[in-house]
Chain A
């Protein structure tokens, strides 16, 4: 029997494993991105070139990246956290995990509702909550005046929502900020009584609306335009609620600098880069999100964020995810 090839390959593997260990501590930035690579990598490449530093990016779910930051504590290799929603940034802000940003950066955002009250994170792109409706079955006039009126029994079984989705949960947290816990709980209870169909996310809801499984769905505004890109006859339209209505929430994807960053100045420059006109226009044109700075242009006839009267509340309140999840469980939505 010849010398076992398995033993040799195993020894070889160990040697390889040792040489492949990562190198840290050099002069490069580490970005934890809760948004996907397809969307973010072009931005990272651009900013890396502008700042003249290497940027290593770890992609994952926003919540998972936050968990990672929490478990890592002060040993985190991350310099910047880019989150899909304000809630996760609020959690970090509340635990003093973020560095206060220079005023020159925070003042670039045109609507002060879209930055942290503690000035330790900024919104990078706006995502309006809308109601997607099947345009073959309904016209915009059929929709209620207020988002809160979907408790009307005539909508029974016709609504799709995504109780496990972070954007939906953020919206419920916002409602708690706007209406108070009791009113929100009552609203949720009435909604559950209306038998909404639970989906896993925005894409699934839109497919459900298009297939006629449901007539309306609670979504973020921008997913629809991707479907329309592929199929202009996709039978779904977005309804934006009027200014000040609890349905008119704008959540943001946002970024902040980790307090333990070894390179806080360059890290701030990266956040600044995310607010540059070029990057802002990129998010607006490729992902149909709302730019948060004045000199960028929203896609098509989407609104400019500084022209909107948003229901006033502090986006950091979105950090109370636990309260929202508890409430969703309590009313039977989760």
Chain B
């Protein structure tokens, strides 16, 4: 038994290592380019005053966007999970939807709305209004379109919280705030930080918003170096600095997690919490959510519609063809499947056997996510064209690139589910003589389903929006909705891109909503299964309860 278990652990570790190495291929390429560029010019670039200034502006943006996302996500999560908010289930979906809007479309819409000569300026009848370009524009658009990463993870954790701890605290005479601060928050912190990590690292790699808003960050500089100077060595050095930055952020997160074991100790999840009566707070809560969704959802949709109407009036070809739609859907589904499957061994290693190996694997697997798409894409172009020309510009290569880029989204989601699953269930299955694979398939996989679904959903959404890797790596002649939007806007045909932008947003919203609704249902399914019912002897186990079922 023991030897089989060890053997099995080994195969999971090998699988995780393979995934980690694959994800780190772009780093290898960057190191190689930097070495070719030479040590002393590399150091010159790394220590130049411009690099330092960029480092500062990038960090300021990342911190501001992450803090704002958390500040938006926490109250929204509370309102949609724990209160009797009017239209709660609908808000639960609406508040996540801004995630489907690509930052390049969102920022472009924001400029169209509140930029100089924008719709607001036109309506007010003024020639110009205060500029949104620069830090504030980049901050606003990145925060508005990426806070759902935090919201998704926090809400999932909140739904699963065992209310008895809070109730005990309240019964002992603690105030609501004290209870939140000392009982609830520590349990939400891991979920918050894993969402915040996605936001922070996304901000590091975003190109769309910072370019539209003309704010200098590392990623923008890397693009400028590539596009303007065609200097691959200098770009590689900057890319490596970004990698170092990412690794420090992740290491920080790992440290944070180490000090935080509390949430694994909570008890039964079968009990349901009472909803807080909002009473007079209903109106301000609804107003707040209304403003948020106006800014993050209605404004971009209106601007897209406005361009659409203009395009239709000018009888331009605004609608995307079916092949564009199916191309986008196919690659996104494939990427979601591959990234999710690849994330399972990594999540298992990180969650089940923490230690130096797990930390290393985790860092490796994150590296693609924080690198700008163009860096990952060029690395794979180089490797593909020169090492495996038969696979170069194939669909497989493109899916591989997406998986590297978005793997961490799946890992995070799968890990959150894994936290809920006690290994004793699997041990019991093994003891009863079930094969290891059978146990995996019949015990672990069903229990991981919410996480797998959420991870696949996130990767699907992000792949739908992805641009640079698609442009560089897709089979020649292959286009997606995202490349279509880029193609039209790059030559100034804004009207023609509107149909594709709308299709992209709608097509991403449907599976997103489906996933959210289904996941809530799925959680209640799970809590009813005998195999997953609460085991009184095991305080570690907690299964998600259904938040919609709590009345």
User: A36 with B488: in contact, given A21-B395, A72-B385, A208-B116 (CB under 8 Å)?
Assistant: yes
Assembly CA distance A148 to B330 (angstroms): 53
Residues of B within 8 A of A311 (CB): none
Query: Which of A16-34 touch B at CB < 8 Å?
Result: 16-18, 20-22, 24, 30
Query: Which of A182-224 touch B at CB < 8 Å?
Result: 198-200, 202-203, 207-208, 210-213, 223
User: A200 with B230: in contact, given A59-B479, A210-B117 (CB under 8 Å)?
Assistant: no
Assembly CA distance A334 to B53 (angstroms): 13
The answer to whether B229 and A321 have CB atoms under 8 Å apart is: yes
The answer to whether A64 and B374 have CB atoms under 8 Å apart is: yes
User: A59 with B393: in contact, given A7-B445, A207-B116 (CB under 8 Å)?
Assistant: no
The answer to whether A38 and B230 have CB atoms under 8 Å apart is: no
Assembly CA distance A226 to B494 (angstroms): 11
Assembly CA distance A49 to B229 (angstroms): 37
Q: Can you list, as one digit per residue, whether each of B322-347 has a CB less than 8 Å from chain A (1) or not (0)?
A: 00000000100110011011000000
The answer to whether B214 and A200 have CB atoms under 8 Å apart is: yes
The answer to whether A75 and B389 have CB atoms under 8 Å apart is: yes
The answer to whether A71 and B496 have CB atoms under 8 Å apart is: no
Query: Which of B470-529 touch A at CB < 8 Å?
Result: 471-472, 475-477, 479, 483-484, 487-488, 490-493, 496, 529
Minimum Cβ distance to chain B for residue A175 (Å):
16
Assembly CA distance A329 to B127 (angstroms): 32
Minimum Cβ distance to chain B for residue A150 (Å):
21
Chain A, residue nearest B333 (CB): A13
Chain B, residue nearest A206 (CB): B492
Cβ of B5 within 8 Å of any chain A Cβ, yes or no, is no
Query: Which of B207-228 touch A at CB < 8 Å?
Result: 211-212, 214, 224-228
Cβ of A151 within 8 Å of any chain B Cβ, yes or no, is no
Cβ of A9 within 8 Å of any chain B Cβ, yes or no, is yes
Minimum Cβ distance to chain A for residue B301 (Å):
22
Cβ of B394 within 8 Å of any chain A Cβ, yes or no, is yes
Assembly CA distance A6 to B338 (angstroms): 11
The answer to whether B491 and A35 have CB atoms under 8 Å apart is: yes
Assembly CA distance A329 to B216 (angstroms): 13
Query: Which of B98-137 touch A at CB < 8 Å?
Result: 116-117, 121, 127-128
Cβ of B399 within 8 Å of any chain A Cβ, yes or no, is yes
**Which residue from B396, B442, B456 sits with its C-beta under 8 Å from A1?**
B442
The answer to whether A71 and B228 have CB atoms under 8 Å apart is: no
Minimum Cβ distance to chain B for residue A334 (Å):
7
User: A22 with B393: in contact, given A38-B487, A66-B230 (CB under 8 Å)?
Assistant: yes
Assembly CA distance A180 to B496 (angstroms): 42
Minimum Cβ distance to chain A for residue B195 (Å):
23
Cβ of A73 within 8 Å of any chain B Cβ, yes or no, is yes
Cβ of A102 within 8 Å of any chain B Cβ, yes or no, is no
Q: Can you list, as one digit per residue, whether each of A282-322 has a CB less than 8 Å from chain B (1) or not (0)?
A: 00000000000000000000000000000000000000011
The answer to whether A71 and B378 have CB atoms under 8 Å apart is: yes
Cβ of B41 within 8 Å of any chain A Cβ, yes or no, is no
The answer to whether A6 and B211 have CB atoms under 8 Å apart is: no
Assembly CA distance A17 to B341 (angstroms): 15
B338, B446, B492 pick with most chain A CB within 10 angstroms? B492
**Which residue from B117, B214, B341, B483 sits with its C-beta under 8 Å from A59?**
B483
Looking at chain A, what size class is its interface with the partner chain? 35 or more
Assembly CA distance A210 to B399 (angstroms): 44
Assembly CA distance A213 to B127 (angstroms): 8
The answer to whether B385 and A1 have CB atoms under 8 Å apart is: no
The answer to whether A67 and B378 have CB atoms under 8 Å apart is: yes
The answer to whether A200 and B487 have CB atoms under 8 Å apart is: no
**Which residue from B128, B333, B385, B483 sits with its C-beta under 8 Å from A73?**
B385
Cβ of B452 within 8 Å of any chain A Cβ, yes or no, is yes
Minimum Cβ distance to chain A for residue B125 (Å):
13
User: How many interface contacts (CB-CB < 8 Å) are there between A and B?
Assistant: 165
**Which residue from A75, A164, A325 sits with its C-beta under 8 Å from B386?**
A75
Minimum Cβ distance to chain B for residue A119 (Å):
23
Q: Can you list, as one digit per residue, whether each of B383-412 has a CB less than 8 Å from chain A (1) or not (0)?
A: 001100101111110010000000000000
Cβ of B32 within 8 Å of any chain A Cβ, yes or no, is no
Residues of B within 8 A of A324 (CB): 228
Cβ of B357 within 8 Å of any chain A Cβ, yes or no, is no
Minimum Cβ distance to chain B for residue A34 (Å):
10
Cβ of A60 within 8 Å of any chain B Cβ, yes or no, is yes
Residues of B within 8 A of A61 (CB): 227, 471, 490
**Which residue from B314, B338, B378, B386 sits with its C-beta under 8 Å from A13?**
B338
User: A211 with B477: in contact, given A36-B490, A59-B471, A226-B492 (CB under 8 Å)?
Assistant: no
Cβ of A83 within 8 Å of any chain B Cβ, yes or no, is no
Residues of A within 8 A of B493 (CB): 36, 38
The answer to whether A9 and B491 have CB atoms under 8 Å apart is: no
Assembly CA distance A324 to B224 (angstroms): 13
Cβ of A58 within 8 Å of any chain B Cβ, yes or no, is yes
Cβ of B381 within 8 Å of any chain A Cβ, yes or no, is yes
The answer to whether A169 and B228 have CB atoms under 8 Å apart is: yes
Residues of A within 8 A of B378 (CB): 67-68, 71
Q: Can you list, as one digit per residue, whether each of B228-267 has a CB less than 8 Å from chain A (1) or not (0)?
A: 1111100000000000000000000000000000000000
Cβ of B449 within 8 Å of any chain A Cβ, yes or no, is yes
Cβ of A278 within 8 Å of any chain B Cβ, yes or no, is no
Assembly CA distance A333 to B116 (angstroms): 22
Q: Can you list, as one digit per residue, whether each of A165-186 has a CB less than 8 Å from chain B (1) or not (0)?
A: 0100100000000000000000
**Which residue from B334, B392, B483 sits with its C-beta under 8 Å from A75?**
B392
User: A20 with B449: in contact, given A7-B441, A56-B477 (CB under 8 Å)?
Assistant: no
Cβ of A39 within 8 Å of any chain B Cβ, yes or no, is yes
Cβ of A264 within 8 Å of any chain B Cβ, yes or no, is no
Residues of A within 8 A of B529 (CB): 1
Query: Which of B268-324 touch A at CB < 8 Å?
Result: 310, 314
Assembly CA distance A132 to B421 (angstroms): 65
Assembly CA distance A149 to B127 (angstroms): 28
The answer to whether B396 and A21 have CB atoms under 8 Å apart is: yes
Name 19 interchain pairs, CB-CB below 8 A, sorted by A: A6-B452, A10-B340, A10-B341, A13-B333, A21-B391, A22-B395, A36-B491, A67-B226, A71-B378, A72-B392, A75-B389, A77-B392, A200-B211, A203-B492, A207-B116, A211-B117, A213-B128, A230-B310, A334-B224
A-B pairs with the 5 shortest C-beta distances?
A36-B491, A22-B475, A20-B395, A21-B394, A63-B227
